[in-house]
Structure 1
Amino acid sequence: MSTTPDLSRLKIERGPAQAPARGRKWIRIGAALLALALAGVLVARQFGGAASVETVTVSLAYPSQDYTLLNATGYVVAQRKAALASKATGRLEWLGVLEGSRVKRDEVVARLESRDVAAALGQAQANVKVAQANLEQGQAELADAQRAYQRASELLAQKFIAAASHDAALARYNKARAAIAAQRAAIAAARAGAQSAQVALDQTSIRAPFDGVILTKNANVGDNITPFSSAADSKGAVVTIADMDTLEVEADVSESSLAKIRADQPAEIQLDAFPELRLAGVVSRMVPTVDRGKATLLVKVRFLERDPRVLPDMSAKVAFLSKPVPAADKAPVTAVQPAAIATRDGKAALLVVDGGKLRQVAVTPGRKVGELVEVRGARPGDQVVLHPGPDLRDGQPVTVAKK
């Protein structure tokens, strides 16, 4: 029996029956490719007019930028500010102000309990009256001693009394005169004691040292007030007051930029809370020491224009100027990057992206404001095409390229 394997069964028969199946497969692949091509053509026809553009925003610019030498940030502070407290120790009995209250100089804003010091004042005033009564009694005694001495002198001249009686009358007279001096000194001491008691009583009334506005209220009625607030559950300052007429901006300026700043240099102050508000200022003084850790110098800028909305501790930006801003340049102007201005039919225009389409807006270019150009006819906030090509037209659909 032969052991050689039969390989005839592994032969693939390639008959005419498989040919049609293979042909149909290639037909299906070709149809799919043709459908994809047709879909691409349709998509291209639908979106072929939507060009991709880069945009910038039309903004408001201030002409003062042309005069700016240096910018710095800082905070609004009051040059004259005080935490009102009392040298006396006691319980707060009355508080007559709230945050934001305006007070005048020497106006009483709070009072401590004062019955004890008021009683001490009454006692001191009574001591003054006692001393005055003693003086009146001493003056009467002096007048009597003086008359007795005069009589004794006359009788001694006539040899009617002994010299010892005359000497006794003289001693009484001198003693009465000395008593008058002592009683007058006692009156002065009593009056000093009364004045000291009056000062102690006055110290229970907390008064405003200058015209200003109450910034913070640190204590309430019933709190214990002690000097320096060293005791537990006690308060030192009752309120904090600031003179709003002394507001200024403290800005840190880099040590490397000090050559651009000088005293009495014009400046423009912008508050972060009110970006549209720009107030004129002037460099008041520069603190003559440099912060070694930050390499900065503290510069204080005084307000030349005041606004009631300016409050202490507001964040502010300071632009140090080469010259004061003219009145004509204080108002903002509409400006845009120069590369956004297109030329259409010999005239300047902006291509505004509005609802996915271009809208041509005719503008009139003006002066240069920093890196921008003033344009009249545009609206702040409009999105306009940057570097508009000649192929872009009014009404054309566009897509904004992502930055």
Structure 2
Amino acid sequence: MNTSADLLKQLRIDRQRPAAPPPARRSGWIIVVIVVVLVLAAAAWWFTRTPVIKVQTAPVVAISAGSNSASVLDASGYVVARRMATVSAQVTGKVREVMIEEGMRVEQGQVMATLDPLDADAQRTLSASQLSAARSQVDNMQAQLAVANADATRLQSLVGAQLVSRSQYEQATGQRDALRAQLQNAQRNVQVASDQLAIAGIRSDFNVVRAPFAGVVTAKAAQPGEIVSPLSAGGGFTRTGIGTIVDMDSLEIEVEVGESYIGRVQPKMPVEAVLNAYPDWKIPGEVIAIIPTADRGKATVKVRVAFKVKDARIVPEMGVRVSFLEQATPQQASRPQGVRVPAAALVERDGATLAFVVGERNTVAARVVTTGMVMDQDRQVVTGLNAGDSVVLNPPQALKHGDTVAEAEPDATE
């Protein structure tokens, strides 16, 4: 049993043991530690991150052997598509589903839209029922003809034995011949019903609108629930097409040349085209044909010009300025093909000529290029670059392969 002295000893306070800090004070120290760690992490990211370099860029432009030829005539025109179609259904009906959008590429035969097939399905079901009924009629006539054949054969033997009259035999053979004719008619009805079923199937396929050729959708004209028809209807409630597709490989330039100057233009003549949207991009081309008729109101003649370069930036209805060039001399024709870039985009490093091309996510790729002749402020590049590439102007010494860049203002790199 504990004595009073033991109990007093247990209640005594030990002043040598340090007191535990209050909970609020411990929480404050934890918050301070977390803040310090976050500040150190942010500082480490700031000092170790890859800096974004501000640069100016320029496009790489295609050149041709005759690009330095003198212009004998300048004219304005538009980019047009040789193959363009507003696709419509072959029958009138209500649109059930539209499967195209502007800018979408479609292949030949691809489904663009479907119409409500209720009428076509009903007609096909009716044709199938008529075919089944015609076949049943043939079966019935064949059974009757078999009985008539048997009767005629039996009566023929009885006539020889003079057990029945010849009139009865002739009546039986007449009935047999009539049934034979009816059977042939029923068989023709089966063929007609079969053809009608095939036609119903074809008409049912008319409810599916398909692309007549491969191209790009430039306009979507109908929505689900609207009525479309191959014929124009008044009132504005009926659409005449599902959408418009353009074969981008058929793009060309249509230019109107004054009658007084048409004598300067010849088929196969080289041209240089400049789109209004891209004034620094010179596109080589060639005269396809001179349309043999004039517009008396404007006193002009249409000229078709082909692009020698295909590019996604060229779209229908763009304005274009065309320079008709004189025929290239043998010296000009022998010049190598290639592209032209500003001379400021080329640098010498480690004995090689480099150009920095801006790619995806604004990262640059260092490319070794082979240069050609000097073209004013530009240089010809034979290998290493492609038309349409974007190159860095005046690349900084610190710029290297894989760096991230951003477009600077025109005076930011001065």
TM bracket, shorter-chain basis: 0.5 to 0.7
Letter in 1 for 2:319: S
Give SS of 2:231's match. Answer: helix
2:88 pairs, out of 76, 85, 88, with 85
Task: String of CA shifts for 1:241-278, please: whole Å, max 9, x gaps.
Answer: 11112111111111112222223333333222223433
1:255 pairs, out of 238, 255, 259, with 259
Q: Which residue in 2 is equivalent to 1:210?
A: 213
Q: Which residue in 2 is equivalent to 1:181?
A: 184
Q: Is the 8 A contact 1:286 1:300 kept in 2?
A: yes
Provide TM-score, normalisation by structure 2: 0.62
Give SS of 2:216's match. Answer: strand
Letter in 1 for 2:202: V
Q: 2: CA distance between counterparts of 1:283 and 1:316? A: 15
Q: Percent identity?
A: 30
Q: 2: CA distance between counterparts of 1:95 and 1:221? A: 6
Q: Which residue in 1 is equivalent to 2:303?
A: 299
Give SS of 1:285's match. Answer: strand
Q: Is the 8 A contact 1:262 1:283 kept in 2?
A: yes
Q: Which residue in 2 is equivalent to 1:100?
A: 103
Shift of 1:239: 0.4
Q: Which residue in 1 is equivalent to 2:395?
A: none
Number of corresponding residues:
284
Provide TM-score, normalisation by structure 1: 0.63
Q: 2: CA distance between counterparts of 1:246 and 1:279? A: 16
Letter in 1 for 2:181: A
Q: 2: CA distance between counterparts of 1:301 and 1:198? A: 45
1:226 pairs, out of 226, 229, 239, with 229
Q: Which runs of 5+ in 2 are unaligned?
A: 1-60, 344-372, 380-414
Give SS of 2:287's match. Answer: strand
C-alpha change, 1:376 and 1:67, in structure 2 (3 Å) is closer
Shift of 1:280: 3.1
Q: Which structure 2 residues correspond to residues 285-296 of structure 1 after superposition, within 5 A?
A: 285-296=289-300
Letter in 2 for 1:317: R
Task: String of CA shifts for 1:56-109, please: whole Å, max 9, x gaps.
Answer: xxxx99872424332222111111111111232222110001001111222211
Shift of 1:291: 0.5
Q: Which runs of 5+ in 1 are unaligned?
A: 1-59, 336-365, 378-403
Q: Is the 8 A contact 1:279 1:306 kept in 2?
A: no
Letter in 2 for 1:97: I
Task: String of CA shifts for 1:122-156, please: whole Å, max 9, x gaps.
Answer: 11112112112212222232333233333333333
Shift of 1:214: 0.8
Q: Is the 8 A contact 1:334 1:375 kept in 2?
A: yes
Q: Which residue in 1 is equivalent to 2:314?
A: 310
Task: String of CA shifts for 1:152-206, please: whole Å, max 9, x gaps.
Answer: 3333334332211221221122112211221122122222322332233222221
1:111 aligns with 2:114: yes
1:64 pairs, out of 61, 64, 67, with 67
Q: Which residue in 2 is equivalent to 1:279?
A: 283
Letter in 2 for 1:282: E
Q: Which structure 2 residues correspond to residues 338-349 of structure 1 after superposition, within 5 A?
A: none
Q: Which residue in 1 is equivalent to 2:359?
A: none
Q: 2: CA distance between counterparts of 1:193 and 1:106? A: 25
Task: String of CA shifts for 1:281-317, please: whole Å, max 9, x gaps.
Answer: 3222222210011111111112232112211111122
C-alpha change, 1:192 and 1:214, in structure 2 (3 Å) is same
Q: 2: CA distance between counterparts of 1:319 and 1:194? A: 60
Q: 1: CA distance between counterparts of 2:378 and 2:295? A: 46
Task: String of CA shifts for 1:215-250, please: whole Å, max 9, x gaps.
Answer: 101121222223334142222112011111211111
214-223 vs 132-141, greater mean Cα deviation: 132-141
Give SS of 2:314's match. Answer: coil
Give SS of 2:336's match. Answer: helix
